[in-house]
Amino acid sequence: MEEENHTVLSQFLLLGLSEDPELQPVLFGLFLSMYLVTVLGNLLILLVVSTDSHLHTPMYFFLSNLSFVDISFTSTTIPKMLVNLYSQSKDISYTECLSQVYFFLMFLGVDNSLLTTMAFDRFVAICHPLNYTVIMNPRLCVVLVLMYWLLMFWISLIHILLLNQLNFPSCTEIPHFFCELAQLLKVAGSDALANNIFTYVATARLCVIPMTGILFSYAQIVSSLLRMSSTESNLRNKDVKGTLGDSSAEQPLVLDGSLTSELRS
């Protein structure tokens, strides 16, 4: 039984995006250029934010963390895909596959959480500008980022522990260019009920809650901007009416003065 388990858990086969040999160099060049642009662009953001003291604000603190997460996020999957495209190979070891799943989930969760926090930061800055420095203080920003990392560390670890309990046939084919959790659960050779339940719970944490927070924040921002626009419009109308009222009140006085001077003459 031990020998069978060792064979079952040896490696997976990543089918990738295409099996056409002529497309492999094209895909390699395309994804390599995209990967380099992503990494260099985010490194530039990190450099600018760290060197410019004027950018040491909550918004740019979250942006620099997001840039680091984006670099890590893409580096979890793209390099292995580039190696497979270059070497015309499809295999990935069991350990590498689980590592991809772990880091992919962790960086994805932190990325979504940072995007939600940045939306909330803009909501506070626009809707409550007087309390912005009190609410978005440096201590809170650091605590939020550490909390996201810690939370996703445990969520991703639980996923891996549950995934490690499943059995997979030898040389299992994964119809993707990296080890995605949903695809692994589909090709598993044993019951994945516990994995699916936890996946639904984690999806609410990774996608539903952040998306709800982002939509709520920007809805409040749009509503606040519309109210400000309406208020400015009303003030302009009052100013115009006041100006017209003053000019109309002056006209009878001018006419009365003209009439009096004519009668005198």
Write the Ramachandran bin of 16: left for phi over 0, alpha for psi from -120 to 50, otherwise beta.
left
Higher pLDDT, 40 or 85: 40
Q: Which whole-number Å values give the CA distances from 10 to 34, 77, 79, 172, in the listed order?
A: 31, 19, 21, 10
pLDDT tens by residue, 204-243: 878 888 889 899 989 988 988 888 766 665 556 555 555 5
Q: How far apart are CA 163 and CA 103, in angstroms?
A: 14
Judge whether 62 and 141 are in contact, CB under 8 Å.
yes
Two tokens at 49? 């934010």
- Report the C-alpha gap between 82 and 88 in whole angstroms: 10
Tokens at 209, concatenated: 């809650």
Nearest 10 degrees: CA dihedral of 219, 223, 225, 227?
Answer: -170
Give the model's pLDDT for residue 175.
84
Domains and CATH numbers, the chain: 9-224 (1.20.1070.10)
Nearest 5°: phi and psi at 214? -65, -45
Q: Is the pLDDT of residue 61 over 80?
A: yes
Structure confidence by residue, pLDDT tens digits, 133-167: 999 999 999 999 999 999 999 999 999 999 988 88
Lowest average pLDDT, out of 1-15, 17-31, 65-79, 207-221, goes to 1-15
Pair 61, 114: CB distance under 8 Å: no
Phi, psi of 6 (to 5 degrees): -65, -40
For helices 209-264 and 94-127, give the axis angle rounded to 10 degrees.
20
Beta strands 91-93 and 11-14: pairing type? antiparallel
Q: Which of 221, 172, 182 is nearest to 203 (CA)?
A: 182
Evaluate the CA torsion angle 29, 34, 35, 37 in order and state its sign. Answer: positive
9 pLDDT more than 80:
no
Give the separation between CA 262 and CA 89, rounded to whole angstroms: 106
Of the candidates 96, 94, 104, the residue with the CA atom closest to the CA atom of residue 12: 94
The alpha helices in 21-166, defined as continuous H runs, are 24-51, 58-87, 94-127, 132-135, 138-163
pTM for the whole structure = 0.80
